[in-house]
Structure formats: C-alpha cells, structure tokens
Amino acid sequence: MAYKNLRCKNFPPDLTNCRYIWCLALLLLPCAGTACFGQTVKIRIVNVTNENPVKNQKVSISGISGTGDTQEQERRKLLTKPSTPDLRLTTDANGEAQFELPKPAPDSFYVRAELSAPLWDCTCLVRVSTEEVMQKGFVTTPRGDKGSSINRSIQPKPGEILYRLRPTPGWVRIFWPLLLDH
C-alpha cells in the first residue's frame, strides 16, 4: 500500500518510479559545478632558486568588488598610497592563500604580493584575467627569467595565480638604501 503512494502518476510508464527521478537528480547535481557556486582562486608564492614556498606574506586583491571603475582608474588607485584593497590575505606554510570570486565574477582583477623590496625581485602588482586564471592559471616570473629551465619546473594549475620569486642579489641589498627615494 505504501509502495503505491511512492509512484509518480504524471510520468511515462518507464519513469513511473520516483526512485529513477531522484537518481537522475543526484547524478546531475555534480554537473552544476561552478555554475552555481563561487569559483575559488588560489595564490601561491614560491622561491624559484630552491622551490620552497614563501610563507607569511601579505597578498592584496583589488577590483573584485565591482565598483565600476575603468581599468586605468583602478590601476591609478592601486599605485597611489595608501590604497585599500577589496581583500587582504596572508600566505600559509605552503605559500598559499585562496579566496572566492564574487558572483558574477569580474572580467579581471588585480593581485599584489606585498613583499619586502630588498629581499625579493618581483613584479608584485599584476592584472589578471579571470577567464585565463580559471582555464589555465597565471604565472609571474622574475625579470630576466623568461627562458630558463628553472621556470618550467613550477607551473600554475587552473584556478591558480603563481608568483615565482628570486631573492635579490646581496650587492643590491647592500646598496638598497641608496636606491630609495627620500
């Protein structure tokens, strides 16, 4: 008697059992994937000389709040001091930090690794295309490191922004105070 109440009356005979409908719904649920949920972006900072993670570094994300600024306005705002980022993160012991993109995701956003200037050679402010990051990942490399084999050993994964850093040479650290604008 209870079994008859579980039958769906308005479906074709081959789908009359509600159990098939529930199974179909459960099978299709994983297909929803990122269409229904926010996309996670991971930021990873690595020292290319020894491939160790760089931990406890601040990372700022701007341009995800949807303020409607143009690309040039957003960049100018980031380069002036002090600037307030939309999000500020700190890398963990693995040199990683992650955040969820808002819905709808912006076309692009800015990421700045706030590193100690005399210690690291880094292009620390980058504009990142959301589509590129989610499909194949994004990587920044130290200046003059375009063709080296050490570059190929650490690659970004889809959904990841990878900062490859090289320590600044010792002689630059010695003369660093002379390079600063006073």
Q: What is the pLDDT of residues 34-76, one digit of tens each?
A: 443 468 999 999 988 888 999 999 999 988 876 666 667 776 7
pLDDT value of position 173: 64
Helices (H), 8-102: 18-36, 71-79
- Residue 101's domain comprises 38-179
Among 96, 84, 86, 85, which Cα is nearest to 57's? 96
pLDDT-based confidence at residue 25 (cuts at 50, 70, 90)? low
pLDDT value of position 33: 43
H/E stretch holding 44: strand 40-47
Residues 12 and 47 in one domain: no
H/E stretch holding 107: none
pLDDT in tens, 111-167: 988 887 667 767 678 889 999 999 999 998 876 555 554 456 788 999 999 998 888
Residues 45 and 29 in one domain: no
pLDDT in tens, 80-109: 666 678 899 999 999 999 999 988 888 889
Question: Which token pair is 94?
Answer: 């693995």
Mean pLDDT of 13-24: 58
Residues 60 and 126 in one domain: yes
Residues 125 and 80 in one domain: yes
Residues 70 and 138 in one domain: yes
pLDDT value of position 104: 87
52, exposed or middle or buried, with CB in 10 Å at 0-12, 13-18, 19+? exposed
Residues 17 and 85 in one domain: no
Based on the structure, what is the number of domains in the chain?
2
The residue with tokens 């012991």 is 93
Residues 82 and 133 in one domain: yes
Residues 63 and 8 in one domain: no
Q: 3-state DSSP call for residue 72?
A: helix
**Torsion over CA: 98, 99, 105, 109 (sign):** negative
